Amino acid sequence: MRLLLSLLLLFASLASVAEGAQRFEPTLPPGYAPDKSTDEGGLWYQVERFEEQLQTSPHIIRNTALTEYLEELVCQLAGDYCGSIRVYLVKNPHFNASMYPNGMMHVHTGLLLRVANADELGAVLGHELAHYLRSHSIDQWRNAKKSLGIAAFIDIGLAALHEDLHGLARDVATVGLMRYNREQESEADAYGVQIIATHGYDPAASVSLWKYIEAERGADKSKDTSSIFFATHPKVENRIARLKQHIKRYGKNPKTDETDLDEFQNLVVAEYEGLMDEQIALQEYEQTAEMIDRHAAIGYPDSLIKFYRAELHRQRKKFGDERAAIDLYRKAATFERTAARSHRELGYLYIKHGLNDAAKDAFESYLEITPNADDREMINFYLETLR
């Protein structure tokens, strides 16, 4: 038994050395589509039906500067395969991206708050593209079919595909249709690094992103293991160690395209409130605090950093949080972008603390900035009763 284990370990380490030195090539040609009569053709058919539903789904963000940017970046990284990949930005605050066998790629909005720059975004997209280029989905689908028995598999597979969009992502992963195995994930990591490095992006971005993800998860001890994402992906520590091996081969690319980097960050900043409101609503306060710290370090606008730190304190409602929220809102209220919402929240917090005059002033400031606010009746009610 011990001998077997040592042999396995030896084999695994040899395999990883071999993988580290390997230069990956795609296993399918550009424009690939399987014969419809094959099992792969059948899988594609199901995924294509799902993609059709997705095209009219309200849960997809379309035609924004951010989606255009994503499409361009994916196209650039995919090279000759650009025409085979379609990227969909899914409204979902969780950290994830996924790749389907027919070239459909999903990127969650939650990813955009977690990648610091175009390099880190590229690292995730490169990883997903690698799954496509190495035909991981069909390989895994065939494995799952073998182990489950064909009849049971088709039943579960079809049920999953008829689920709604949000349910689908979960159920498909649950039945193993899209759940890549550890080897495939490791290969996608290595190939992903190759893809971004050869397109002028910093290969070290894959490590900085995973370090951050680890920090965010570490911020909350209460939950992690049940997340499908983490259940199906390699252990973060192992992953970072192996990614470091891969990036050594490429060295650091000189930053020739600074404007590109700024463009992504600016696009995130432009959509920041919408993205962050959804993140805060998850009530994952420790993780969100970690995220805001990172955004501050990146250099996202001070107004947004102060305002969302205030929001975090106000919504967490632990001892001392309201005081901290008031201090931060006061600062955020001095910036044009966050003034209105800050004044309104200050108004409510002052009422809680019995500071009626201050509350009145804050509400008046709020209505001065946004006289047509949809909650003006509520604010006017307080302005009248706080006399």
Partner 1 sequence: MKKISILALACMLAACAHYSLAPEGAHTVQGMSFVSTTDWNKSSLRSGAKSEVWTKDGERLNQLTFIGGIKDGQTIFTSRSKELPMPEFRANMLPNELMELVVTSLKNSSGGELVIDATNLRPQRLQGSIGFRFDMSYYDSNGLARRADCIMVKKDDRLNLIIFSAAGMHYYPKEAAEVDSIFSSLQL
The residues in 156-185 that bind partner 1, with binding defined as CB under 8 A, are 164-167, 170
> What minimum distance in Å lies between the beta carbon of 59 and partner 1?
7
Q: How far is CA 274 from CA 109, 277, 326, 355, in A?
A: 10, 5, 22, 31
All residues at 6 or more sequence positions from 110 whose CB lies less than 8 Å from its CB, including other chains: 92, 93, 94, 95, 96, 275, 278, 279
Nearer to partner 1, 182 or 223 (CB): 223
Choose between 49 and 211: whose C-beta lies nearer to partner 1: 49
Q: Which residue shows structure tokens 């006399």? A: 387
Of 78-86, 149-157, 190-198, 281-289: span binding partner 1 (CB under 8 A): 281-289
Work out which of 156, 234, 345, 346 binds partner 1, going by CB under 8 A: 345
Interface region with partner 1, contact rule CB under 8 A, candidates 98-106, 141-149, 280-288, 326-334: 280-288
The least CB distance from residue 301 to partner 1, in Å, is 23
CB of 121 to partner 1, least distance (A): 21
Tokens 């001890």 locate to 221
Cα(274)–Cα(276) distance, rounded to whole angstroms?
6
52 is a site residue for partner 1 (CB under 8 A): no
381 binds partner 1 (CB under 8 A): yes
**Using the 8-state DSSP alphabet, how is residue 79 labeled?**
G
Place of tokens 């990146």: 298
Euclidean distance between CA atoms 115 and 205, whole angstroms:
9
Please tell me whether residue 239 binds partner 1 under the rule CB under 8 A: no
Residue with tokens 């605090």: 289
| For partner 1, the closer CB: 2 or 318 | 318
* Whole-number Å distance between alpha carbons of 342 and 358: 13
Residue whose entry in the numeric block shows the structure tokens 């463009």: 263
344 touches partner 1 (CB under 8 A): yes
Q: Is 91 in the site for partner 1 (CB under 8 A)?
A: yes
Q: Does 323 bind partner 1 (CB under 8 A)?
A: no
- Please enumerate, as own/partner, the contacts of 365-374 that have beta carbons within 8 Å and a separation of 24 or more: 365/333, 365/339, 366/340, 369/339, 369/340, 369/343, 370/340, 373/340, 373/344
Q: Please, which residue, 92 or 208, has the CB nearer to partner 1?
A: 92
256 binds partner 1 (CB under 8 A): no
DSSP 325-345: HHHHHHHHTTSHHHHHHHHHH
Question: CA-to-CA distance for 355 and 342, rounded, in angstroms?
Answer: 16
Residue 49 lies near partner 1 (rule: CB under 8 A): no
Check binding of 320 to partner 1 (CB under 8 A). Answer: no
Residue 371 engages partner 1 in binding (rule: CB under 8 A): no
93 is a site residue for partner 1 (CB under 8 A): yes
Nearer to partner 1, 274 or 299 (CB): 274
Residue 248's φ and ψ, nearest 5 degrees, are -55, -35
CB of residue 306 to partner 1, shortest distance in Å: 19
Q: Is position 221 an interface residue for partner 1 (rule: CB under 8 A)?
A: no
- In sequence order, what E strands does the chain have? 60-61, 86-90, 97-99, 104-108
Query: In this structure, how many other beta carbons lie within 10 angstroms of the beta carbon of residue 198?
Result: 15
Our finding on whether 76 is near partner 1 (CB under 8 A) is: no
Min CB(139)–partner 1 separation in Å: 29
Per CB under 8 A, residues contacting partner 1 are 53, 56-59, 91-94, 164-167, 170, 222-223, 226-227, 278, 281-283, 315, 317, 344-345, 348, 351-352, 374-375, 377-378, 381
